[in-house]
Amino acid sequence: MKKKNSWYDITNKGGKAEIFIYDEIGYWGITAKQFIKDLKQVKDADSVTLRINSPGGSITDGNAIYNAIKALKVEVAVQIDSLAASMATVIALAGNSVKMAENGFFMIHNPHGGAYGESKDLKTMADLMDKMKTNILNVYAKKSGKETDEISDMMDDVTWMTAQEALDEGFIDEITDEVVIENSFDMKNLEKIPAQLVQNAGVSPVASANSKTPEEDEIMTVKVKKEPQPQDEKPEGVVDQDAVKAKFIAEETQRKTDIKAVFVPFQGEHEKLMNKCLDDMKCDEQSARDLLLKALGKGVVPIAGTAGAQVVEDQSEKFIKGVTAALSARAGLEKDDTANELRGYTQFEMARLCLERNGISTAGMDKMVLVGRALMPANSMHSTSDFANALKNTAHKSMLKGYDEAEETFQLWTTKGTLSDFKVADRIDLNLFGELEKVPEGGEYHYGTIGDRGEQVQLATFGKMFSITRQAIINDDLRVFTQIPRRMGRAAIRTVGNLVYLQLTSNPVMGDGTVLFHADHKNLAAVGAAPSTATFDAARVAMGTQKDPDGKATLNIRPAYAIVPLALLGTSNVVVGSETEIKANQNNSKIPNSVQGMVEVISDSRLDDASAFSWYMAANQNMHDTVEVSYLDGNSTPTLEQQSNWSIDGVDFKVRLDAAVKPLEYRTMYKNPGQ
């Protein structure tokens, strides 16, 4: 049988498809991209015959062609008409059955490749060659039934096999009649060409252990030249090869550039996967991103045989931490971790990854639908999705940052308390242990009375809501993490500060039925005056001479803080900082300042709102009860909760803080209404 074919053809007539691969594999001949595109012609065929006469070529193109043929849903009968060498042998074994002309040859050898660059580049290429050989070995071993070590030795030796030898070794299934073929390729680059091919191919002979002389075998007729074609005519289906090659180079270069860009944020962490994507010509940028997302979603499997019980981090928790850290770094909430595989990912990409991790295909899914699905519970309507949890964690970090950076002053002079529930709680007063009683010899000790006087406190809940919409996620708007939660954090602590300073300015009623600052409490100046040495000294005397509730013991309470509006901050700092006495309307006194360093001055603008003249003193909160700020279970930071909401395209977040503020003792505080 004689078949003329210039290089490559695919036909499908009457449901019987025939594919001719009569050229090199890859850039200089049959590219995988063009082959796979043309293969669509045979998708509805009843049968496919693949005819091969090829010296091999590109491993990556060959692998892609092999996979495309294997993916066909019909029986593929392979006929090696003349030569199947190198990568062409792998393609040949993609068929369900493999026949070979009696005068044909089957050649296997090791993959070839080269690299230019540093030593690491050369090592990378060497590793890649080993991996390519392993893939080829598996194909050969599966067909022949041989051990991979034996096949590896054959590849090392560059083994040429006649049809009978290929049959004996298990690489083909049947031998057919001789075929005379016209080739479009040059065999000069092949190694150890058998003598039968040498005299007809016009190449220099190379000795080969498995080559036979013409006398030992029938000579296969091989014509190397193509039939000349008229200059102005081209056979039907044949395109301008130079144009095809130029187009292929441009498209392949762009494909590899796009794939490498996908892996840039990971700094070599997934180099193996990147190389696999680069080698697979069917893999484009989106396919590479899909494979990377799946790789990132895989959890860590515990090593078998580890002695003792170990606590292994849940995959979901690990993923949430990774997403939270990546978003937090992009939002400037924490340091960028270069080891985090998710760094640089957008919110939308993370939502997509979350679904892929849970086995939910996102192919063709609308963006709004995809983000909405990512925010939904994965398995239970009562649980929260990984993605929503990650958003919550990031928002929570931003909220706490705002809480911590707020310029509040109440913590300097108040105490922190703990309440376990929202019931009214009693706080006992200063106590009645004004002094110890003398116990005569053999006499009895008497109990001091505590708890019959005191203040009551009760928690209240303060909160507000905000939303993160699907549009913000799709637009990768990080302001939802850097502004809104941060401001909510500041608002939370500002709310507590408002409550604290309200205790001073509103003058609440105490447990004894009298307001906090009152003449009966001996903690209110009879005549208002500005801060001075005399007025500060009067405050010190008033606090130091306070008596216990029974009026028996002098408590000797000393002021530790002067709490003033901003309008009096400068004057108050001068009063406690000056070495000489400070009097009203007098700046040149030579009398030593008796209140120098007596207190720490604290100012707050909320006092100005009530009065720019009134000022206060408070005792050391670590020694005496002043104003207590209580929190539920001692948690002084706000809580962030989230839930999906049908009324918006996104997720709702609720900031809540449970707190109570109460003056516990009037004797430890003093007020001067100023003037």
- The answer to the question of residue 31 being in a domain is yes
Q: At 35, is the pLDDT very low, low, confident or very high (cuts 50, 70, 90)? A: confident
477: pLDDT strictly greater than 80: yes
Residues 24 and 144 reside in one and the same domain: yes
Q: At 118, is the pLDDT very low, low, confident or very high (cuts 50, 70, 90)? A: confident
Residues 620 and 659 reside in one and the same domain: no
pLDDT (0 to 100) of residue 649: 66
Q: Is residue 468 within 8 Å of residue 391, measured between CB atoms? A: yes
212: pLDDT strictly greater than 70: no
Encoded tokens for 352: 């997509």
Q: What are phi and psi of 122, to 5 degrees?
A: -70, -40
Residues 162 and 211 reside in one and the same domain: yes
Residues 596 and 534 reside in one and the same domain: yes
525: pLDDT strictly greater than 90: yes
Q: What is the DSSP letter of 40?
A: G
CA 382 to chain centre: 25
- The answer to the question of residue 186 being in a domain is yes
Q: Is residue 65 within 8 Å of residue 91, measured between CB atoms? A: yes
- The answer to the question of residue 279 being in a domain is yes
Q: Of 291, 299, 335, which Cα lies nearest the Cα of 315? A: 299
Q: At 274, is the pLDDT very low, low, confident or very high (cuts 50, 70, 90)? A: confident
Residues 31 and 106 reside in one and the same domain: yes
Average pLDDT over residues 247-269: 76
Residues 115 and 215 reside in one and the same domain: yes
pLDDT (0 to 100) of residue 186: 57
Residues 525 and 568 reside in one and the same domain: yes
Q: Which domain, by its residues, includes 492?
A: 410-435+449-508+631-663
Total domains present in the chain:
4
Opening angle at CA 30, ends 27 and 35, nearest 5: 120
Q: Cβ-count burial of 69 within 10 angstroms (0-12 exposed, 13-18 middle, 19+ buried)?
A: buried
Does residue 624 carry a catalytic annotation?
Answer: no
Is pLDDT larger for residue 359 or for residue 307? 359
Mean pLDDT of the chain: 79
pLDDT (0 to 100) of residue 94: 93
Q: Is residue 422 within 8 Å of residue 456, measured between CB atoms? A: no
pLDDT in tens, 569-612: 999 999 999 988 888 666 567 889 999 999 999 999 999 999 99
pLDDT (0 to 100) of residue 431: 45
- The answer to the question of residue 316 being in a domain is no
Helices 271-279 and 285-297: angle between axes, nearest 10 degrees: 150
pLDDT (0 to 100) of residue 265: 62
Residues 158 and 213 reside in one and the same domain: yes
Residues 213 and 97 reside in one and the same domain: yes
Q: What are phi and psi of 600, to 5 degrees?
A: -95, 130
Average pLDDT over residues 357-364: 80
224: pLDDT strictly greater than 70: no
User: Of the residues 255, 280, 295, which one is the last residue of a structural domain?
Assistant: 295
Residues 73 and 153 reside in one and the same domain: yes
Q: What is the distance between the alpha carbons of residues 57 and 63, in angstroms, rounded to a whole number?
A: 11
Number of C-beta neighbours around residue 260 at 10 A: 14
Task: Give the list of residues 6+ apart from residue 254 with CB closer than 8 angstroms, or none.
Answer: none
pLDDT (0 to 100) of residue 203: 40
Contacts 24+ apart (CB under 8 A), 323-330: 323/350, 323/354, 323/386, 323/387, 323/390, 323/394, 324/390, 324/393, 324/394, 324/397, 326/350, 327/390, 327/391, 327/394, 327/478, 327/481, 328/394, 328/397, 328/398, 328/481, 330/478
CATH number of residue 22's parent domain: 3.90.226.10
Q: What is the DSSP letter of 653?
A: E
Q: Is the overall model pTM greater than 0.75, yes or no?
A: no
- The answer to the question of residue 111 being in a domain is yes
Q: Is residue 564 within 8 Å of residue 602, measured between CB atoms? A: yes
Does residue 109 carry a catalytic annotation?
Answer: yes
Task: Give the list of residues 6+ apart from residue 395 with CB closer than 8 angstroms, or none.
Answer: 468, 480, 481, 484, 485, 640, 642, 653
Average pLDDT over residues 273-294: 83
Q: What is the distance between the alpha carbons of residues 595 and 618, in angstroms, rounded to a whole number?
A: 15
- The answer to the question of residue 315 being in a domain is no
Residues 180 and 278 reside in one and the same domain: no
From 86, 152, 328, 398, the catalytic residue: 86
Query: What DSSP assignment string belongs to 581-606?
Result: --BTTB----SB-TTTTSSEEEE-HH
Can you name the residues that pair with 99 across neighbouring β-strands?
79, 174
Opening angle at CA 90, ends 88 and 92, nearest 5: 70
CATH number of residue 462's parent domain: 3.30.2400.10
Encoded tokens for 596: 């120098």
From 6, 109, 385, 572, the catalytic residue: 109
- The answer to the question of residue 60 being in a domain is yes
Give the type of residue at 26.
Answer: G
Stated length of the chain: 675
Using DSSP's 3-state secondary structure scheme, residue 410 falls into helix
pLDDT (0 to 100) of residue 464: 83
- The answer to the question of residue 602 being in a domain is yes
Using DSSP's 3-state secondary structure scheme, residue 466 falls into strand
Residues 480 and 524 reside in one and the same domain: no
Q: Is residue 419 within 8 Å of residue 461, measured between CB atoms? A: no
pLDDT in tens, 139-189: 999 999 999 899 999 999 899 999 999 999 999 999 998 876 655 555 655
Q: What is the distance between the alpha carbons of residues 452 and 460, in angstroms, rounded to a whole number?
A: 25
Q: What is the distance between the alpha carbons of residues 430 and 542, in angstroms, rounded to a whole number?
A: 17
